[in-house]
């Protein structure tokens, strides 16, 4: 069934359009980093904050009702928040920065993980990712991750993929890694922006995940659309839930 979706290659104009989107998004983020009233997305909406406080994991499009269409691609911009009671910021960061254990904490979405390099608050990380919905796709990815302390109760984290390659026949003797930016285009880029805030009764964790995928080819929506439309939200929610379960 995977072969029903013709392999594609990421085009330079698609990547340029994604870079433009990221620049605009990061410019907007800077305006709220130092804000004590709107540091978290949920701070600006009392009903939303109450849902999160009750234990619900809330995830929505950052804007609009669907992914943003760019040249031969789609930008999926989701934000999600979780409250993790009875834990601390120090424990939360220790868990997330233990990249060798991500294959355990975030299974089955993360098949394998290892720390490649670490200096201060900067980490280079390898993750083998599984994307499964109708068909199964394995991706080898490398990430540049930077943490930043704002004050005693607030931290930021920015993670950017530096390499993503699709893997054919993963785990078999004939396993083969395709050239980066080729294959079925189910994930070309993933930029994640985390915010953490400690309160007296626990920690809030918020993640804005911006990813780039191929567009939906005509006539193949039944194969492609469930993968690239639904998986970003589902993966974000599972990541937040797995973080909470590991801590609480």
Under DSSP, the state recorded for 6 is -
Fold of 2-247: Alpha-D-Glucose-1,6-Bisphosphate; Chain A, domain 4 (3.30.530)
Q: What are phi and psi of 14, to 5 degrees?
A: -70, -45
pLDDT tens digits, one per residue of 47-94: 999 999 999 999 999 988 889 999 999 999 999 999 999 999 999 999
pLDDT tens digits, one per residue of 171-187: 888 889 999 999 888 89
Per DSSP, the residues of 14-72 read HHHHHHHHHHHHHHHHHHHHT-SSSSSGGGG-HHHHHHHHTT--EEEESSSSSPEEETT
The domains of the chain are located at 2-247
pLDDT tens digits, one per residue of 120-159: 999 999 999 998 776 788 999 999 999 999 999 999 999 9
Looking at residue 218, its pLDDT comes to: 47
> Can you tell me the distance from the alpha carbon of 120 to that of 98, in angstroms, rounded to the nearest whole number?
14
Of residues 214, 206, 195, 213, the one with CA closest to residue 239: 206
Of residues 106, 164, 133, 110, the one with CA closest to residue 228: 133
Of residues 121, 126, 190, 114, the one with CA closest to residue 155: 121
């Amino acid at each position: 069934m995977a072969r029903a979706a013709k392999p594609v290659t990421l085009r330079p104009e698609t990547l340029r359009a994604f870079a433009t989107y990221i620049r605009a998004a990061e410019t907007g983020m800077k305006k709220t980093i130092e804000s004590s009233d709107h540091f978290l997305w949920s701070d600006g909406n009392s009903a939303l904050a109450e849902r999160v406080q009750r234990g619900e994991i809330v995830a929505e499009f950052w804007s609009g009702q669907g992914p943003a269409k760019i040249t031969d691609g789609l930008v999926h911009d989701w934000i999600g928040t979780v409250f993790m009671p009875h834990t601390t910021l120090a424990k939360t960061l220790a868990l997330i920065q233990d990249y060798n254990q991500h294959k355990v904490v975030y299974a089955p979405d993360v098949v394998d993980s290892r720390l490649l390099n670490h200096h201060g608050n900067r980490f280079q990380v390898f993750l083998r990712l599984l994307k499964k919905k109708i068909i199964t796709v394995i991706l080898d990815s490398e990430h540049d991750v930077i943490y930043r302390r704002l004050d005693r109760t607030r931290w930021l984290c920015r993670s950017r993929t530096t390499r993503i390659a699709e893997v054919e026949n993963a785990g078999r003797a004939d396993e083969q890694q395709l050239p980066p930016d080729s294959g079925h285009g189910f994930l070309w880029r993933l930029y994640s922006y985390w915010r953490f805030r400690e309160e007296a009764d626990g920690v809030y964790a918020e993640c804005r995940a911006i990813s780039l995928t191929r567009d939906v080819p005509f006539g193949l929506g039944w194969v492609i659309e469930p993968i690239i439309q639904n998986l970003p939200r589902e993966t974000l929610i599972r990541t937040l839930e797995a973080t909470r379960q590991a801590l609480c």
